[in-house]
Amino acid sequence: MSETPTNGSEPQPVVRLRDIHKSFGSNHVLKGIDLTVHKGEHVVIFGPSGSGKSTLLRTVNLLEIPDSGSVWFEGKEYGPGVDGEHLPKGKARLLRQEIGMVFQQFNLFPHITALDNVALALRRVKRIPRPEAETRAAAYLDRVGLLDKLAAYPAQLSGGQQQRVAIARSLVMEPKVMLFDEPTSALDPELVGEVLAVMRRLAETGMTMVVVTHEMGFGEEVGDQNIFMDDGAVVEQGGRGIYKDAQEPRTREFLRSIL
């Protein structure tokens, strides 16, 4: 069992996916993906729709259980695993408490207020008493600039505001990793900026992030590891330069088509 050294200079892996395969019926969506996310790193995944990038992201917090392969998080194994390896098994529910996720469609709970959306998991998962949970939730709504909206219901908020509440809902659990699944794709163009600004600030604070997005500008700015996926496989990965001079013709073609 090789433990990763944690002497500060070495980047410390937080999440490691190895040889992930996933099929829906006869549709082979992920064809053996490897991905290591280090502490404080910002991973940006891009590619055409149907390339499997969302499915890959959802594998990280086990909203999708891979057919085969290893999902490793902080010393424990969550997926089916890799042959010959025997790591201590973890519970998906506990992993999800430490990995936040922001969805394309926000998925706020429409029947409760913004404050209750953020406080719900504190109260029910972390068993924090209501007054304390509400204080913390309000502080996180303040962080995303929505303290004045704490009594509003999701339907009374703009898309950008809803997505910021959703970000607060995840952050309040103090996750070690944040996953973003096309967080601006469902937004009106003029609302994209406010959500990206929050994500950019979050990246600056050192949060470990994995972001699936079509916002190449975001990748150029904060992406430490930029991954181009197509047809269920990683075609190319690299630093911020990938957007300007990609090596693979398919990457270049894709970047040309969306710019």
Partner 1 sequence: MSGVLAQATFRPEFIWDNRHIFLDGVWLTVRIAVVAFALATALGLVVALLRMSRSRILGPIMAAYINVFRAIPLLVFVLFVYYGVAIHFSFSISAIQAGVLALTLQYSAWLGEIFRSGIQAVADGQRQAAMSVGMSRPQTFVRVVMPQATRIVTPPTGNMFIGMIKDSSLVYIIGVPELLRVSNLLANRTFRYFEVYLGTVIVYLILTTAVYFMFKYIERRFQLVDVLTSKVRSPFAKRRAARLRRLQDEVLAARDTEPSVRLATE
User: Helices 189-204 and 159-171: crossing angle, nearest 10°?
Assistant: 20
Q: Which of 51, 54, 59, 61 binds partner 1 (CB under 8 A)?
A: 61
For the beta sheet containing 42-46, the strands, ordered from the edge strand earlier in sequence to the opposite edge, are 99-102, 177-181, 208-212, 42-46, 225-230, 233-238
177 near 116, Cβ under 8 Å?
A: no
Stretch 1-60 residues interacting with partner 1 (CB under 8 A): none
Q: How far is the CB of 182 from partner 1 (least distance, A)?
A: 13
Q: Which of 48, 80, 145, 238 binds partner 1 (CB under 8 A)?
A: 145
Tokens 């406010």 correspond to 194
Rounded to 5 degrees, φ, ψ at 73 are -140, 115
Query: Where does this chain touch partner 1 (CB under 8 A) — which range of 12-20, 77-85, 201-209, 240-248?
Result: 201-209
Instruction: Give all strands (DSSP E) within the chain, no chain letters.
Output: 13-24, 27-38, 42-46, 68-73, 76-77, 99-102, 177-181, 208-212, 225-230, 233-238
Q: How far is the CB of 68 from partner 1 (least distance, A)?
A: 22
From 232, 259, 243, select the one nearest 21 (Cα to Cα): 232
Residue 144 contacts by C-beta under 8 Å, 6 or more apart in sequence?
Answer: 164, 165, 167, 168, 198
Does 151 participate in binding partner 1 (rule CB under 8 A)? yes
Radius of gyration of the chain (CA): 18
Does 63 participate in binding partner 1 (rule CB under 8 A)? yes
Give the dihedral sign, CA 210/216/219/222: negative
Does 194 participate in binding partner 1 (rule CB under 8 A)? yes
| Binding residue count for partner 1, defined by CB under 8 A | 52
Does 133 participate in binding partner 1 (rule CB under 8 A)? no
Query: Where does this chain touch partner 1 (CB under 8 A) — which range of 11-19, 81-89, 95-103, 248-256?
Result: 95-103
Does 121 participate in binding partner 1 (rule CB under 8 A)? yes
Tokens 């922001």 correspond to 102
Q: Which of 51, 162, 170, 184 binds partner 1 (CB under 8 A)?
A: 170
Query: Where does this chain touch partner 1 (CB under 8 A) — which range of 8-16, 32-40, 65-73, 94-102?
Result: 94-102
Does 236 participate in binding partner 1 (rule CB under 8 A)? no
Q: Which of 115, 165, 210, 227 binds partner 1 (CB under 8 A)?
A: 115
Q: Which of 24, 27, 124, 253 binds partner 1 (CB under 8 A)?
A: 124
